[in-house]
Amino acid sequence: MRETTQHFRQQYRAAVSPRYNPWLHGGFVLAYGLLCIGLLCSTLSQVQPLEWLAVPVALLFFNLCIYVVHRWLGHHKQRFARMFYARHTGDHHSFFAPGLMAYEGYRDWRVILFPAWLIVVHSLLFALPLWALLRLWNGNVAALFASCTLLGYLAYEVFHACEHLPANHPLARLPWVRQMRRLHELHHRRELMQERNFNIVLPLMDWLFGTLHWQPQEPPAVSSSPDEATPMTRMQHQVDIPAAPPAPWPMPPARGSGHSGTPPRSRSRATKARCSPGKASRKTSMPAGAAAT
């Protein structure tokens, strides 16, 4: 899998135009989105407390939209969304795989960010019609709701880029980003990408629809080499208990006693000699018989 991903990365990077500028790409998306939000907010006038409820409602609505688009268009072929499927499943999921989730250069942003023109389409075909429709009822609600759909788009782009940062990057270590990065890494598994973890900013819809999948980060493998072994943090003790206690070592005799402090091996030989007097008598009787002859 790793070699396949690296091979695809080489092919993809070779096909990227040398004129591609990642800073211009990201900068245009951010500047255009903020400009549209500013224009919409400039129409606000004496916003009432209840009208501010349009902000969380719009963000939740956009969270649902992202979930639906990501799940049913990004990972299931639809005739009217073939380009999106090819770019997302074909390019993005082939470029990033578990163990290779971080981009290696700013030009890799091309496979992370949406095309620059898509935010223009989003503003004209999604945010603007919502604003025009809601404006018939309440102008402040219309401006807040439409601007939050653009804010959600920018949040998606920023969070998605952060989820492909190197793991030791300061932004990637932020608690919220770190958790979403782990969920997104699980989503990039081949067996999970069509079924689990479709939210990018907040996993609310994954939780509501039962597609949230969490698995802790696997600890790094401990090397068997003594130079690379991980130091232990818990002391381990090993005690060997013999099956039977050893025989006590004979104590040396006290002074004045008739016992000689014979070592165990010598004492055992003397004891063995006393237990077999026949052999000893035969050895000593042979010289006597020879003299009689």
**pTM score:** 0.73
Given pLDDT bands bounded at 50, 70 and 90, which one contains residue 150? very high
- Taking each helix axis as running N to C, give the angle between helix 139-162 and helix 175-187, from 0 to 180 degrees, rounded to the nearest 10: 70
Instruction: Please say if the pLDDT value at position 11 is more than 90.
Output: yes
Whether 114 and 88 have beta carbons less than 8 Å apart is answered as no
CA angle 175-24-106, nearest 5°?
50
pLDDT tens for 94-141 read: 999 999 999 998 999 999 999 999 999 999 999 999 999 999 999 999
Q: Where does residue 270 fall: left (phi above 0), alpha (psi -120 to 50 degrees), or beta otherwise? A: alpha
pLDDT tens for 235-257 read: 444 444 455 555 555 555 555 55
| Pair of tokens at residue 157 | 């782009």
| Pair of tokens at residue 226 | 């003594």
Which residue, 124, 145, 142, is CA-closest to 133? 142
Whether 74 and 170 have beta carbons less than 8 Å apart is answered as no
| Residue 279: per-residue pLDDT | 46
pLDDT tens for 15-54 read: 999 999 999 999 999 999 999 999 999 999 999 999 999 9
**Domain map of the chain by residue range?**
2-10+25-208
Instruction: Please say if the pLDDT value at position 142 is more than 90.
Output: yes
Given pLDDT bands bounded at 50, 70 and 90, which one contains residue 1? low
Instruction: Please say if the pLDDT value at position 63 is more than 50.
Output: yes
Whether 74 and 163 have beta carbons less than 8 Å apart is answered as no
Name the residue with higher pLDDT: 10 or 288: 10
Instruction: Please say if the pLDDT value at position 291 is more than 70.
Output: no
| Pair of tokens at residue 23 | 């800073």
Residues 6+ apart with CB under 8 A from 137: none
